[in-house]
Amino acid sequence: MKVVELFAGVGGFRLGLERTSDKFDFVWANQWEPSRKTQHAFDCYIEHFGKKDSHINKDICTIDKNEIPNHELLVGGFPCQDYSVARTGAKGIEGIKGVLWWEIYEILKTKKPTFVLLENVDRLLKSPASQRGRDFGVMLSCFNEADYSVEWRVINAAEYGYPQKRRRIFIFAFKNDSKYAKNLNIEKPYEYIHKKGFFQNEFPILRKPIKQKIRKNSTYIEYGSIADVSDNFDFNFENSGIMSKKKIYTEQTFPNYNGEYIKLKDILDSDVDEKYYIDTDPNKLEKFKKAKAAKKINRISKEGHEYVFAEGNLSFPDCTDTPARTMLTSESTVNRSSHVVEDPKTKRLRVLTPLESERINGFEDNWTNTDMTERFRYFCMGNALVVGLIEQMGKILINIYKNENRDI
């Protein structure tokens, strides 16, 4: 199965799929970190997957999409941006310059891969605040124009046994002329999501939906062109759904997982360097306590309205009998989101090590211990996905691909 990987980072998508099967053939990959002289993430990628002509370190916006090899699966975790479009008369529509979704869209139209698997932050479903659901609606409209159907699911890795409460949307798209698409019965969307959908076997959900979106006695929401969606679409997407031929069905689902759960304490190291401890510096310790404490701050909105920004207490130190909180790119710095744990051996307070940050995402120990700084190692893990989720999706993809009567 020929695969192209976009926004590859340090290779989480590839690592997950290759752990699943040697039948995934990565024919091209691209990673580019803007505004950085040294491309540490790309260097880490080639450290593990080799320095090849097919591993590209260029801005995707500058690459001729015809030069990308033909492939059957396109994967990538792309940035969440503003997806609004502008009308350009006879030229049709034009996406906001620099928005990377439009580069994906160009690849879909140019290379026409049979399957697409993308990852993003879950707020994509609700953005922007001024026109709820518009950005995701634009994406779905683009997929429709390129002759794809789409299923999506927001998955919290911790709810399926992984050691991090990392909630991300996964988007699986498939060409409408594929055998897989012909098994999609859009007239029974509930049955598809709960029995036959892409995610259900590996990520089971409770059978009874809590919320379903219904408008005008119809389960589906129809919409117009990409430009029309950008101008007018406003819809609250739920965490699961499907789109096929301009029809959308969405419902709120809940996980139905009965396996084992990995806790934060299960991945903690028992012998770490002194530099990770915070109790040796009273000022640092107090700054962490203050950052984690509840607060109320008077603020003024862009429109000039006064409001109170409030945050509750965060556990200090972090509870290690549960999965870790979502790890951000600022991990280990003095801020509210960084984890502070009681070391299992010394019982002293410290931040997570880079190795522990890798374990939280399911990478091999010291995966990012290449030529990058420790700070950038944390940054890479804050941007990464949970590799085990991709392993599970790889199993699904292999079965789907076999059913397309391919030689695999």
Select from 162, 5, 150, 141 the least CA-distant residue to 69: 5
Q: Give the pairing type, strands 211-212 and 247-252.
A: antiparallel
Cβ–Cβ under 8 Å, residues 116 and 84:
no
DSSP-derived secondary structure letter, 66: G
Given the residues 44, 61, 80, 142, select the one marked as catalytic: 80
Select from 133, 138, 193, 202 the least CA-distant residue to 397: 202
- 393 three-state secondary structure: helix
Cβ–Cβ under 8 Å, residues 146 and 103:
no
Q: How far apart are alpha carbons 308 and 262 in whole angstroms?
A: 37
The secondary structure of the chain in percent helix, strand, coil, rounded to multiples of 5, reads 30, 20, 45
What the block records as the tokens of 102 is 């439009």
Q: How far apart are alpha carbons 254 and 243 in whole angstroms?
A: 20
Helix (H) or strand (E) holding 403: helix 387-403
Separation in Å, CA 41 to CA 11, 47, 373: 9, 10, 11
> What does the DSSP assignment read for 157-223?
GGGGT-SB--EEEEEEEEETTSHHHHT--TTSHHHIIIIISTTTTTS-B-SS-SEE--BTTBS----
Q: How far apart are alpha carbons 24 and 137 in whole angstroms?
A: 30
Q: Is 80 a catalytic residue?
A: yes
CA torsion through residues 246, 251, 252, 255, sign: negative
Cβ–Cβ under 8 Å, residues 408 and 20:
no
Q: How far apart are alpha carbons 376 and 352 in whole angstroms?
A: 14
Select from 285, 290, 309, 313 the least CA-distant residue to 298: 309
Cβ–Cβ under 8 Å, residues 378 and 332:
yes
Look up residue 107 and give its amino acid: I
Catalytic residue set: 80
